[in-house]
Structure 1
Amino acid sequence: MMTHPETVLQLLAPLLLAGGWVLHAHRLYRRLHRVRRDPLTGLLTRDGWSRAADRIIRRHSGAVVLLADLNGFKAVNDRHGHDAGDAVLAAAGERLAAWCGKNEVAGRLGGDEFVAVLADDTRLPDRLADLAELLRQPVAHNGEQLRVGASIGAARLAELETPTLTAALKAADGAMYRIKGRTRRGRRLLVPALAAVRRLPVSLAHRFRLAA
């Protein structure tokens, strides 16, 4: 005949087992949640952001995907060290998250590349200009004022032949690199202009160089 403590343990065993699984599941969920969050910036990583972006795209026909790359980030890393680079990345992530509004989600794809999805394109040019200016603001670190620029490409889902997240990221990436080739910290670069000059007839190209 089982004693009273043995009876209690037998009755509680299924509950204890279930409780153990609940605790395990909770820890697993927290671990997965951390994996989907970039530990440096607190933004969603590629996988977590992609899931959130897909939900927004399905619900909002006017959704926009944007891709941002920090100009001059490597120079900050090389000159001031990786701690300074981390400070710049953390500040960029915080500013991008603050810039995003309701139904908008930011993420970090890796390195100095950030991404966001917007529910609509209301005031898009003005908003992108505001974001570029925000990312250009100096970051204080160990008595230094660290500065980087930003190239931002955007793609409206409604304008794409295939309105998917993959297609939008590809289009935003192309737009970003076109901007990156043309400007740096808002200043026009000479490389594209010189390439255009090379395609001109010799006489016109000569005049262009003299005028410049």
Structure 2
Amino acid sequence: MRRRLSAARRDPLSGLWTRAAFERRAARALVRGPHAVVVMDLDGFKQLNDTFGHAAGDEAIRAIAACLTTALAELDGSVAARLGGDEFAAVVPAPDPVALPWLLRTLHDAVCTPFSYRGQTLTVGASIGACLTAELPAVSLSLALRRADEAMYTVKRSGGGWRLADGPTLTHTTTLGRRTGRQGTTGREAAA
């Protein structure tokens, strides 16, 4: 029965937790100390589906999930999920915030690694946003997801990469129903 319940709480394509299961586990994790909340959206996913078909898109989702699982495997207490479509999220213990840019860069590089599909080498890009819960006025998964989402959409508009939200303030504005971003550190800026 436990195996069936666990399987029902996992996304059948990626093997990652579903949104509801992720939210429960992530909320429990956040009360145990400082964490980074990470939101990731794939870049070029629609084009990949349109060019190579949905089976190639499914293979990309499986490959990304495997990269995410591998990247977070050694970080005890991490929780990762496929939120839907080509959107993923994770909650990662962050006792040392100085290490977070390294983790985001590593995660971005891993996700953007080419994968094989029917003898072809394919790639997708990624836009990743993260928020440190220690910088928030209160421990709140929804607030942390919002801040990470803002950071992710800012880096997405600049062509992909990663970005760490810079502080607790929200922009409170939206673009097409999505939050707009703010100034902060992006992977492209960090490399410059």
- Shorter-chain TM-score tier: 0.7 to 0.9
State how many pairs are aligned: 158
The answer on 1:144 being equivalent to 2:120 is yes
Q: Tell me the residue number matched to 2:36.
A: 64
Identity %, equivalent residues: 43
> For 2:145 and 2:122, how far apart are their aligned partners in 1?
29
1:156 alignment partner, one of 132, 146, 149: 132
Q: Which amino acid aligns with 2:93?
A: A
Q: Tell me the residue number matched to 1:46.
A: 19
How do 1:162-181 residues align onto structure 2 when only pairs under 5 Å count?
A: 162-181=138-157
* C-alpha contact (below 8 Å) 1:154/1:176 kept by paired residues: yes
The answer on 1:92 being equivalent to 2:64 is yes
The Cα of 1:73 is off from its aligned counterpart by 0.5
Q: Tell me the residue number matched to 2:167.
A: none
The Cα of 1:103 is off from its aligned counterpart by 1.2
- Structure 1 unaligned residues grouped into runs of 5+: 1-25, 187-212
Q: Tell me the residue number matched to 1:113.
A: 87
The Cα of 1:104 is off from its aligned counterpart by 0.9
The Cα of 1:156 is off from its aligned counterpart by 0.7
Superposed CA deviations along residues 48-68 of structure 1, whole A, max 9, x for unmatched, are 1111111110111x2110000
The answer on 1:104 being equivalent to 2:84 is no
RMSD (Å), alpha carbons? 1.4
Q: Tell me the residue number matched to 1:133.
A: 109
Q: Tell me the residue number matched to 2:50.
A: 78
Larger Rg computed on CA atoms:
1
Q: Which has the higher strand share?
A: 2
* C-alpha contact (below 8 Å) 1:136/1:185 kept by paired residues: no
TM-score of the superposed pair, with normalisation by structure 2: 0.78
> For 1:161 and 1:92, how far apart are their aligned partners in 2?
32
Q: What stretches of structure 1 move > 4 A for 4+ residues in a row? A: none
TM-score of the superposed pair, with normalisation by structure 1: 0.71
The Cα of 1:184 is off from its aligned counterpart by 3.3
Q: Which has the higher helix share?
A: 1
> For 1:150 and 1:35, how far apart are their aligned partners in 2?
27
Superposed CA deviations along residues 112-140 of structure 1, whole A, max 9, x for unmatched, are 00000011135100110011010111110
